[in-house]
Each structure stands twice: as C-alpha cells, then as structure tokens.
Amino acid sequence: MKKTVRYILALFVMLISVQSAFSQFPQRSNTQNIYIQREDQPNAAVFLPAPPDTSSVAYLDDFVQWQWGKSVRATDRGERASQESASSTTEMARIFSEAIGIKISRTETPAIYNLMSRSYHTAEQASKNPKEKYMRIRPVIQYNELPSGRSDRLESLRTSGSYPSGHTTRGMATALVLAEMAPEFQDTILRRGFEYGESRIIVSAHYQSDVNAGYLCASACVAAMHSVPDFIKDMEAARVEYYEKIGQKAGKILRYPDGRHILGAPVDTASNRYLGDVMRYMSAKAERTTQRGSQALKDADITADAILEGFSEPLGIKIDSKKTPAIASLISESRNALQRNALDLGNSVKFRKRPYVQLNDKPFADANDSQVSSYPSVQSEIGWGIALILTEIAPDKANDILTRGYQIGESGIITGQYWATDIPAARIMAACMVARLHNDAAFNKLLNDAKAEYQK
C-alpha cells in the first residue's frame, strides 16, 4: 500500500514537472498572431458615435449609396466586389500583390507576409466592440435581399452587426501598413484598401456609414500598433525584404499621397448624394445655439495654437512650446503637412463651394474661407491626423484623443463650412498621410522626441 502511495505521489510530481516545463514555451493560440489584444486597443464603441438610424437624416446617404451599389452588381466591378467578400490573410496577399507589384506569400516573402498577417488579425479585433454594442441590421437583411457576395452567408449576415464594417477595417489596416512599408506604391495600395471597403456596399453587406467607420477603426488600430515594439521590428524586416525583392535601395519619398488616385470623386450638385448633404446641413444648423455649437465654432480655428489647446485636455497635459516643446513641435509640423495635403487635393479637383456659400446663407464661422474648396475638409484632415499621431504617443489616452479628433471633423458640418461627405474623405487622407510621414526621418525624430517627453 505504501509503495502504491509513493508511486502515485511520484507520478503526480512528474506530471507537475512536465506541465511546468511546457509552460516555459509559448503556447500556440490565435492571440499570438496579433500585436494588440482587443481589450488594449482603442475602443471604437467609445470614440465613434452610434450608426445612423433609419429615420435619421444621415441615413439618407446610406440609402442612396445602397442604391448605387445595387446598380453596379451586374458589372465587372460588381463581380470583383463579390469575389472580395472572401476575407483572409491569403486574400489580402492576393489583392495587395497586384497593388504592390510583387507576389506576397508565406514562402516567397515571409517577412512581409508575417507583418501583413499580424496586422490583419490585430485589425480583426478593432471592429468587434461597436459591432456587438449596436448590432446594426445589415442592408441585405433590411431590404430582404439574398447575399451577392460570393463568400457571404445569410445566417452569418443576419446574426452579426453591420457597424462598423469588419472587412473594411481589415482591408484598410492592411493597406495602411503596406503603404508605410512600400511608399513608392502608396497611392495604388491605398486605393485598393479604399475599394475593398466600397465592395461591401456593392454586395449590400454594409452601409456607407459602416464602411466609413471601418476606415476609422483601421487607422486607429494601426496608430496603436506603432506603440508595440514587435510591430516596429516586423515593419523594418518587411521593408528590408521588400527592397531586396524589388532590387533597389530605399529612397527619399518626397510626394504625399494623392487623393485623386485614392478616393472617389467629390459629390457635386448633380449627384444623388447631394440631397443628403443639404439635409445634414439643415439639421446641423439647429445645434449652433447649443453648447455643441459653441464648441464647433471654436473648432473652426485650425491654427497651430488652437490645435495645441484643443488636444491638451484629452492628452491630459498642457501642450505649449515652453512646457512641452517636443510635442508642440510635432503637432505643429504635422498640422502643416496635413493642411498642405488637403489643400493640394482641393486645388486639384473640381472646386466645391462651401455649404453656406452654395445655399446663400450667412456664415456662422470664418467668412474668409469662401474661396477654399469644401472638399476635402481641411479641418477634418488636421483633426483626425493629429489624433492618430497623438495616439501613438499616448496609447493610454487613445479613446479621449480619437473622440476629440472625430468631433473636430463633425464641427465643420455644424458651422456650415463643410458638407457631410467632405469629412470621411479627409479622414481617409489623414490616415494615408500619417502612413507616409512614417517614412520621413524628420517626422520620426519629432515623434520619438515627443514620446520621450510625454513619458517623463
């Protein structure tokens, strides 16, 4: 009996030892293929508002875009949208291989594939909180359609939330990461990320506002990844592999992303979407007499000093050139670059009159901006771009920072300086610009100095 007890005890000790030995090795799980856990990422259920209700003015644009998507389903573009309903790292490799000009695969470009895969799976977590919070009904269900996306299944579409678009979040996050890695092809890469989101409207899996929210989730997620050492290491390894693959050394990229090659055309008065813009303008005017209207009027000031003041509260410190010179310098220089990019796009497309000018209304904010195109919103590009950059510096304050950046864009609708459809375009360009700035040595030095200053 004693021998039996000793044998059992010895066996128990051996099992504990084996278990302890195995615990020394990394355990295989899905979480190993991501940079940031869902609970540690910026929470889009906090920094984004609720999706438009079917009775709201904002829903009009969703409905018009649903009709547009339906009209192109039988075309080649519709067929591509159907094919792009598939969502996986393999599918991302296929899509972006075409955009980048080299074949991306686990065996041929292992470093690039690793970066892309981990970024994709990290972004997969980014849209889950608002999806579960709002459980928005998808257009395919709302309008009693059958799925036209090749890989979409009715039951899955019925039981998962429409807002934000998870496909868009993953696709645009992948595009932003690859555009940073291969800036020579930035416009082509970012265009494919933009179109991947549009495909979800075409197949009726998502509304336009779902896709717009997906673009924002993606950019916030990528900003957060820049505070993870593994991401920085993987980005550098992928960049080295990329330049080896194309047979050249990294050069200095002078050109900013060109919105003419990335985005769709701005809405004009002949577009079906114009009525939605007018209705949003009319409804937003009611907020001018409220506290939100007062904040919107303040947000119309996009000078460097005003931006520093506007982001001091969410960052939790007073930002100025004396107390926080590194952070102030980073914000000021980045603001200038973002403004220049937005103005360049506005000057290169068809001039769009400001809402208050187009509708012959009295200006609520700056009356001197009437000669500047409403598209894209300079205010929104600066606001969202600075928010993304500050998220890299202070990931612990990401939700407050991103909420502020989002509000700055919406303020332009309230003041009547920008049409509602000008805002999402500017936010996309802000994310594209931040990806581009990461290839600028001067920007990276300012960023690193600002991070060190914040952490003191």
Domains of the chain: 41-249 (1.20.144.10), 273-456 (1.20.144.10)
Which of the following is catalytic: 121, 136, 206, 273? Answer: 206
The rounded distance, in Å, linking the Cα atoms of 375 and 352 is 6
Task: Tell me if 34 sits within 8 A of 122, measured CB to CB.
Answer: yes
Which of the following is catalytic: 121, 191, 192, 200? Answer: 200
Please, what's the b/e burial string for 382-416 (b: 16 or more CB within 10 A of its CB; e: otherwise)?
bbbbbbbbbbbbbbebbbbbbbbbbbbbbbbbbbb
The rounded distance, in Å, linking the Cα atoms of 150 and 213 is 23
200 assigned to active site: yes
Look up residue 344 and give its two tokens. 């360049």
Q: Which is nearest to 112 in space by CA: 246, 256, 262, 257?
A: 246
Q: Which residues contact 76 (CB under 8 A, 6 or more apart)?
A: none
pLDDT along the chain (456 residues), means of 10: 40 34 32 88 98 97 98 98 95 94 95 98 97 98 96 96 98 98 96 98 98 98 97 97 90 87 96 97 97 97 97 96 97 98 97 96 86 96 98 97 98 97 98 97 97 94
Q: How far is CA 227 from CA 124, 346, 394, in A?
A: 18, 32, 9
Look up residue 340 and give its two tokens. 């220049």
Q: Which is nearest to 283 in space by CA: 126, 58, 61, 105?
A: 58
Give 18-75 as a 3 state SS string.
HHHHHHCCCCCCHHHHCCCCHHHCCCHHHHCCCCCCCCCCCHHHHHHHHHHHHHCCCC
Dihedrals φ, ψ of 253, to 5°?
Answer: -95, 110
Which of the following is catalytic: 61, 210, 258, 299? Answer: 210
Torsion of CA 392, 393, 397, 403, to 10 degrees: -60
Task: Tell me if 122 sits within 8 A of 36, measured CB to CB.
Answer: yes
206 assigned to active site: yes
167 assigned to active site: yes
pLDDT value of position 31: 52
The rounded distance, in Å, linking the Cα atoms of 368 and 214 is 34
Q: Has this prediction a pTM greater than 0.85? A: yes
Task: Tell me if 414 sits within 8 A of 357, measured CB to CB.
Answer: no
Which of the following is catalytic: 136, 167, 191, 280? Answer: 167
**Polymer length of the chain:** 456
pLDDT value of position 28: 31
